[in-house]
Each structure stands twice: as C-alpha cells, then as structure tokens.
C-alpha cells in the first residue's frame, strides 16, 4: 500500500511538473508574438526596464485590488490629472517617442494656449450662432455682415463670457457620460469646436503662432517629427489679403523651417491633405485636382499624401469616390481614415476594404479591423500600419474601457501599429505621452515592458512617409536620444 501511494505521489508530482512546464512554454510563446518581443535589451536598458516594471506592477496591483484606481479604465477627462502623477507616465514623458503620425490641424495645441494666446488679441470679433457657439473674425473695423461684437467689449459687459468661451474650445466637461450620450452627440460638439477654433486660426498671425506652438508642445514632449492632416483653409490678414491653398501650404512650410532653425534636433514636418468626406463626388474631384496642383508645386516635398476625414458613420464612404481617387494612381500616398466605427459590415465599416484596395500606406484608427480576418492578414503582410489613438477612441465613444480596445489584439499579435494622439488639444492632452501611457497600461497587459515602448517609437519612424535617407537620419537621431534617456533614468535612480 505504501509503495503504491509513493508511486502515485511520484507520478503525480512528475505530471504536475510537466504541466507547469508546458503552461510556461505556452505563455512564453504567446508573449513572443507581441509588439517589441523581437527586441533584445542591453544591460542598461534592462536596469531601466526593472524600474519601469516596478512602477507598472504597482499600478496594476492597486487597480486589480480596486478597479477605480486603474487609470486606463476610467474616462480620460476624469483620469487625466491622476495620470500626470503616475510614475509610469513621468518616465514615458522623458522617453524619446520618435514621431507623431496622426493628428489634425485644428486639434494640435492645448486649449489653454488657444484661449489665452489667441482670444485676447486685438481686432477680434465674435458672432454667436443660434445655439450660442461663437465664430470669430479679426478685423480693424466691424465686419460687414450683421451680428458681430468686439470680444473685448463682450468681456467687459458679460462676466460669464470667458467661461462660456473657454468651454467652447474643448470637449472636456465634468461629467462626460451625461454630456455626451452617444457618438453622434459628441461628434456634433466635436465639429462645433473645430468650427470655433478654425475661425480663430484663419487669421495669418494666429495661424502661424498656433502651428509654431504645436511644434513646441511636441518638442517638449520628446517628439521630433510630425505628420499631420489638414484642410488648407482660406487664411487672411488685416489688409484683406486671402491666401491660396498653395500659399497656406507655404505658411506651414515656412513656420516649420523657422522652428527647425531654433530647434536643430527637430527632424521635420509633413502635411497630409485631408478635406471632408461629407461632400459629393464632384467636390472630391476638385480636392484631387487641388492635390495634384500642390503635388506639382513648390512645396511638394512638404506634402505627404491624401486622406478624407469626418465622422465615418454619417459621412460618404471611400467607395463613393473610387473613380476620383483612382485618378491619383501611384502618384501619391493615401492615409485613409477607415473603420472608425463600432458597426459591422455597415458602409462605414467597409471603408477598411477600400483603404486596403486603394493601397493605403497607413490606416487611421482601423478600429473595426478585428471583424475582418482577411484584412488583418493583408495589413500584416503588406506592413500597412494602423494608427491607434486610444484616448480619441474613448472620448469619441467607440470604447469605454481601453482594456477592451481592439488594439489589444494587434499589440499581442505583433501587427504594424503606431500610437497616435489625434486631437489632443480638444481633450486636455498634449503631445503623445498620454496616449503612450494609455497604450502601455491599457493595451499591452501586465507584462508589456520597455521593449514595447521602444518598438512603438521605432515604428513611428519606420512607418512614416519619410524617404529612406531621411528615415535613417531620423532613426540615428532617435537612437542617440534613446541612449541619453536610458543613461539619464539610471543616473536619477542612483541618486535617489
């Protein structure tokens, strides 16, 4: 009997040991598929990784015990201030993040700058629409049409004016769940904010100062290259001159050049022409004709490619404009917004198929792509990068808890992903660090480590529109900054 019991225990222990080993191997195989698993950290990077993971595990443990303390679970408006105090966030802020590849001209800059530096300028007039939202105009005298009031006078006569004005320049509210009941509601407000900000930026000095500040905020966040989408609006000055789209592109280029002279470590800027998708085919034909003029013009090197933007569920589909888009052929790169929807096999969801068939270089958001396994195969095979903007997706009501974001699958399976900030100024963010934090904590699980962050930064350069020579230059600069970052973290840890 004792011999049988002993044999049973030996066999059971052996079986359990084998089980645990097979379990560990299976987990390791899964982890080796994720973004960053291909990287090998050197000795100094491993020291930084240990510090980073101590901070991450501390936040994970606190959140697992009390989910309200896990910041990516909470709405960004309610979590933002606590994120700024996170040790993980502070380390990510120091990290060179490479490039910002998906953001929009009217959402690049913090709302505080827009309010304090643009709305207090001389010669500014405002006119409310029926809902009380202001449109702005700079003019030495009252504009010709009715309804305009000088902003200085409104401030003197109405003590509540500034609070209402400030609220119109951002989506941030104390209770986002009550204020924005569904995606259509928040998109209406979103587009209203764009109209207000856009009217402020149509004045040339404001336009140039705003864009310069956008580059400053990225630089302060350790981002050294920008590709952004924009409309090329009608910019004017106080003498009545209205600038053509070519001239507006030139203003961007000149401002970027001026910034680079003051900040030699900044790699540069490129522009993606991205007008509205809520138009008819003849208007898109006009967009294409303008793009071809720009592409053949003086600032062609500043021009990265073409996109169509706006709420996909309510806008026209890419399929509606295939004849016009095909005329561009291989003469440009496409960076289409596609799959920014919760619906499945609705026309907005099927934009993903047309983005792939039209040979998009990158896909903006691509939120719905998990529902389309053949497209998943193609984007991985062709290295079509998915621009993932986790905070934007949460704020615009595609997902509440980013732990359930589709990009969890993309990260875990090593898909070509770049992290994007979309319109950080409209939701109280700045630069890329907030989205990197939410991605690192909410999209990668407990064991996603420094390799993930490093690979995401590298991806931002590899999947940019830069030519190979400029990519090599950008990567060389980034690697130098990365080594300095690693050394700096180690020095700080040794003096604490």
Measuring CA to CA, how many Å separate 142 from each of 136, 139, 150, 280? 12, 7, 8, 35
For tokens 């504009």, the residue is 143
What span, in angstroms and rounded, lies between the C-alpha atoms of 496 and 487? 15
Edge-first strand listing for the sheet containing 362-365: 337-338, 362-365, 385-388, 417-419
Torsion of CA 214, 217, 221, 225, to 10 degrees: 30
What span, in angstroms and rounded, lies between the C-alpha atoms of 473 and 373? 36
Handedness of CA 222, 225, 230, 236 (dihedral sign): positive
Q: Quickly count helices (H) and strands (E) in the chain.
A: 20, 11
134-138 and 98-100 strand pairing = unpaired
- Residue 125 near residue 213, CB atoms below 8 Å: no
Paired residues of 337 in beta bridges: 364
Measuring CA to CA, how many Å separate 280 from each of 106, 231, 319, 340? 23, 17, 12, 21
- Residue 87 near residue 405, CB atoms below 8 Å: no
Paired residues of 134 in beta bridges: 128
What span, in angstroms and rounded, lies between the C-alpha atoms of 137 and 151? 10
Complete DSSP assignment for 400-457: SSGGG-THHHHHHTT--EEE--BSGGGGT--TTHHHHHHIIIIIS-TT--HHHHHHHH
What span, in angstroms and rounded, lies between the C-alpha atoms of 412 and 380? 13
Q: Under DSSP, is residue 382 helix (H, G, I), strand (E, B) or coil?
A: helix
365 is catalytic: yes
Q: Which of 59, 217, 227, 340 is catalytic?
A: 340
What span, in angstroms and rounded, lies between the C-alpha atoms of 370 and 400? 17
Complete DSSP assignment for 43-104: HHHHHHHHHHHHHHHHHHHHHHHSGGG-GGGS-HHHHHHHHHT-HHHHHHHHS--EEE--BB
Q: Which of 104, 337, 365, 405 is catalytic?
A: 365
Q: Under DSSP, is residue 380 helix (H, G, I), strand (E, B) or coil?
A: helix
Closest CA relative to residue 226, chosen from 262, 283, 270:
270
What span, in angstroms and rounded, lies between the C-alpha atoms of 280 and 236? 27
- DSSP H or E stretch at residue 220: helix 204-220
Active site residues: 340, 365
């Amino acid at each position: 009997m004792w011999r049988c019991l002993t044999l049973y225990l030996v066999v059971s222990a052996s079986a359990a040991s084998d089980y645990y080993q097979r379990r560990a191997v299976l987990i390791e195989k899964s982890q080796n598929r994720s973004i960053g698993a291909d990287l090998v950290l050197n000795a100094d990077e491993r020291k930084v990784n240990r510090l980073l993971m101590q901070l991450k595990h501390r936040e994970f443990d606190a959140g697992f015990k009390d989910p309200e303390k896990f910041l990516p679970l909470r709405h960004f408006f309610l979590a933002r201030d606590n994120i700024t105090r996170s040790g993980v966030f502070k380390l990510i802020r120091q990290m060179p993040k490479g490039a910002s590849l998906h953001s929009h001209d009217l959402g690049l800059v913090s709302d505080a700058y827009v309010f304090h530096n643009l709305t207090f300028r001389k010669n500014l007039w405002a006119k409310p629409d029926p809902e009380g939202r202001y449109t702005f105009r700079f003019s030495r005298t009252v504009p010709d049409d009715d309804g305009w009031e000088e902003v200085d006078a409104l401030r003197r006569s109405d003590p509540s004016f500034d609070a209402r004005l400030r609220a119109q320049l951002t989506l941030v509210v104390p209770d986002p769940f009550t204020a924005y009941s569904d995606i259509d509601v928040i998109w209406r407000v979103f587009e209203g904010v764009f109209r207000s900000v856009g009217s402020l930026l149509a004045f040339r000095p404001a336009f140039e100062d705003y864009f310069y500040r956008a580059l400053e905020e990225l630089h302060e966040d350790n981002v050294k290259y920008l590709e952004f989408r924009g409309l090329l609006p009608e910019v004017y000055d106080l003498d009545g001159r209205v600038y053509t789209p070519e001239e507006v592109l030139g203003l961007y280029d000149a401002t970027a050049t001026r910034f680079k002279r003051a900040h030699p470590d900044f790699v540069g800027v490129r522009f993606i022409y991205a007008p509205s998708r809520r138009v008819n085919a003849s208007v898109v034909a006009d967009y294409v004709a303008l793009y071809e003029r720009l592409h053949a013009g003086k600032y062609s090197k500043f021009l990265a490619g073409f996109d169509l933007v706006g709420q996909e569920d309510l806008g026209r589909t890419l399929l509606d404009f295939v004849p016009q888009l095909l005329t561009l052929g291989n003469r440009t790169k496409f960076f289409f917004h596609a799959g920014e929807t919760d619906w499945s096999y609705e026309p907005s969801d099927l934009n993903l198929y047309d983005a792939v068939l039209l040979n998009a270089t990158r896909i903006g958001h691509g939120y719905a792509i998990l529902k389309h396994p053949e497209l998943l195969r193609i984007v991985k095979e062709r290295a079509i990068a998915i621009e993932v903007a986790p905070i934007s997706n949460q704020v615009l009501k595609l997902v509440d808890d980013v732990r359930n974001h589709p990009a969890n699958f993309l990260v875990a399976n090593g898909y070509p992903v770049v992290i994007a900030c979309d319109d950080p100024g409209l939701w109280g963010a700045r630069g890329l660090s907030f989205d990197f934090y939410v991605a690192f904590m909410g999209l990668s699980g407990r064991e996603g480590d420094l390799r993930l962050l490093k690979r995401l930064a590298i991806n931002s350069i590899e999947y940019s529109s830069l030519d190979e020579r400029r990519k090599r230059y950008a990567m060389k600069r980034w690697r130098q900054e990365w080594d300095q970052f690693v050394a700096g973290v180690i020095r700080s840890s040794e003096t604490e």
